[in-house]
Amino acid sequence: IFRISDGVLRVVHSRADVFVSEKGTPLKVFGTIQDITDRKRADEELRESWKRLTDIIDFLPDATLVIDNEGKVIAWNRAIETMTGVKAKDMLGKGNYEHSLPFYGERKPILIDIALHPEPEREKDYTTIQRSGDIVFGEAYTPKLAPGNVHLSGTASVLRNAKGDIIAAIECIRNNTDRKNMEERLNRAEKMESLGTLAGGVAHDLNNVLGIVVGYAELALGGVDKSTPLRRHLENVMSGGLKAAAIVDDLLTMARRGVSGSEVLNLNKIIADCQKSPELEKLFSYHPSVKFKTDIDNDLLNISGSSVHLSKSLYNLISNASEAMPKGGTLTIKTTNQYLDKPISGYDKIREGDYVVLSISDTGEGISANDLKRIFEPFYTKKKMGRSGTGLGLSVVWGTVKDHNGYINVESEVGKGTTFTLYFPVTREDIAAKAETVAISEYMGKGESILIVDDVMEQRDLAKSMLDTLNYKTSSVESGEEAVAYLKEHQADILVLDMIMDPGMDGLDTYKSIIKTNPQQK
């Protein structure tokens, strides 16, 4: 440092070169002095500027890192320390993709590297990626971050100097796992709602057709001698119709129109009955190497629901679990009471409350992340056709659980198995006494009048034939409007109403219109 004539201090760089003879004797000295004040000042300003920038980066709420042109980490803020558990002192100066290890457990280019050196092939690793000039936005699942499979969104950009040259890159990262899960649940619910509407419409039309097939087959069987060949043909028609009706019932359940009534139940009883069923015995004959275990809470609380639909859902889950273990394994059914004092976010968002929890676990092949998103869709199946049903099994489970105001959680890892956990709200009511079976003679009428309202002629004729056989006096009309007009001039002890009639009034609107003038109409 020198003080020049005007008293100003200047920073100089001095150098002296000594020239010597062949014998090593100094001959002369050549010296240079260079004023580097401006350069030192610029360097100091640059250091101050970088310090201010790193201070700002350090206090950013988003996890942030900066790498230089060589891929070495030059900034690692507090938020990213918290996110990854890696301290800045252990990361600064590290290269060779060290910064990817906390996220992926392997060294590979991540979003900040793609911003610095675009690699179209690497962009396939992201669920979403968009580029706009120097800025790249991306979203991806990160398997290494606790608690695992965390979904992150990041925005990376290159940094340029005054000349426009790229000198570094910066990335800001956010954990948006909750938002991603919420979006997936919403999309899943909307998709299932749309599929349910479609399935409900198809099932309604099929119901009309199958009702006629099964109904007339049953009527015909009643009048055919057991010894005639015709009876076997009618029995086959009846059997096929009933199988098709079971598929329609699955469609209606998936459409959330299948649970028409409920009773107080205990899941332990449903599980016990399922274990004794011939269907389960047949299923396990296909999978002799599968071990079946139960872990039952003997003090299990009651729920309100449909035993038919719950039994079918339980069987479907057991069937899926068995299919997932072609080389054998263990299938475990567990029940327990659980109180949730706060919501749980998983495959479904489960609200706080008292629940009876049913879980079905297997040690099988597991479900991939892509398949897991679609398992409840109707006909989305990878099971063996012919042996494993229609592809509606999990759709039935979904519809049944939702109809019971319950929730589903699914946990699976490829190669390690799957657990389906079903949450059903508790009821404090007691189980009612079992109703006694009523003899067919008790259904016989005494000439009471019945008005049948149905928009399908074959359904009207079938209902009329059945009720006439049971000694009722029947009349029929094909629309709600005709029913209203008929009852203005006639009386009926009871109405039998088709609920879905199109076009015109449906069954509910028809009944509402009738009771305006006849409040006591049954």
Q: Per residue in 149-171, pLDDT tens?
A: 788 999 999 988 888 888 889 99
The model's pLDDT over 282-327, given as tens digits with 9 standing for 90+, comes to 888 889 999 999 999 999 999 998 888 888 889 989 998 998 898 8
How many angstroms separate the most distant Cα atoms in the chain?
A: 143
DSSP assignment of 298-360, as one string? TTPPEEEE-HHHHHHHHHHHHHHHHHT-TT-EEEEEEEEEEEESS-EESSSEEPSEEEEEEEE
- Work out the number of other CB atoms within 10 angstroms of the CB of residue 12: 14
Cβ atoms of 431 and 304 closer than 8 Å: no
- Across the range 396-406, mean pLDDT stands at 84
Q: What is the pLDDT of residue 258?
A: 47
Q: Tell me the β-bridge partners of 158.
A: 169
C-alpha 498/C-alpha 487 separation (Å) is 16
Helix (H) or strand (E) holding 109: none
pTM of this prediction? 0.54
C-alpha 381/C-alpha 361 separation (Å) is 19
Q: What is the pLDDT of residue 255?
A: 57
Percent of the chain with pLDDT over 90: 32
Q: Which residues, including other chains, have CB under 8 Å from residue 164's CB and lie 6 or more apart?
A: none
The model's pLDDT over 419-470, given as tens digits with 9 standing for 90+, comes to 999 999 999 888 777 767 778 788 899 999 999 999 988 889 889 988 998 9
Per DSSP, helices labelled H in 417-506 are: 457-469, 480-489
Sheet strands side by side (includes 494-497): 473-477, 449-453, 494-497
Helix (H) or strand (E) holding 218: helix 177-222
Of 430, 420, 421, the closest CA to residue 364 belongs to: 420
- Work out the number of other CB atoms within 10 angstroms of the CB of residue 469: 13
- Residue 440 buriedness (CB in 10 A; 0-12 / 13-18 / 19+): exposed
C-alpha 180/C-alpha 349 separation (Å) is 13
388 pLDDT higher than 60: no
Q: Which residues, including other chains, have CB under 8 Å from residue 503's CB and lie 6 or more apart?
A: none
Q: What is the pLDDT of residue 11?
A: 66
